[in-house]
Amino acid sequence: MGKKNFIPILALCVLLLGAGSTAYVYTTQVDASFITVNNQEYTIDQLFILAESRTFEDIEFTGIAFDDLIIKTGISSPEKYDYTLTASDGYQKTVTWENMQNGLLTAEGMSVFPDLPKAFRVKDIIKIEVISNE
């Protein structure tokens, strides 16, 4: 008699856990159609019009130059800052101005820095935060 009651209760718990997980994922998802750069919102298309293209042929990535993007979005003296890239899932990486000069933002919203480990390839970037490095 104990097993007959236990299996339906276990199945119900698994279903509730799955439904709760699904609800959590949908409520914590952030809209990745805009990228905030220094508290200004842009679409990826606007950024591609604004900044110059760059291609890394050795690793086969094309996008816009981060250094040009930072300058064209109005950040003066960009070498005085570090930059935190935040993904839609909350993943973050902070890079220096020297890294930004070698990096690019792809059309898919991913950062690529050929001189840094792959952990710095932040996908679905929603925010580029300018922070003081002093």
Same domain, 126 and 78: yes
Q: What is the 3-state secondary structure (H, E, C) of the chain?
A: CHHHHHHHHHHHHHHHHHHHHHHHHHHHCCCCCEEEECCEEEEHHHHHHHCCEEEECCCCEEEEEHHHHHHHCCCCCHHHEEEEEEECCCCEEEECHHHHCCCEEECCCCEECCCCCHHHCCCCEEEEEEEECC
pLDDT given for residue 118 in this prediction? 92
Same domain, 13 and 79: no
Q: Which domain holds residue 67?
A: 34-132
Same domain, 26 and 38: no
Same domain, 21 and 38: no
pLDDT digits (tens, 9 = 90+) for 74-100: 888 999 999 999 998 889 999 999 999
Same domain, 24 and 51: no
**pTM value > 0.85:** no
pLDDT digits (tens, 9 = 90+) for 6-27: 888 888 888 988 888 877 766 6
Same domain, 24 and 75: no
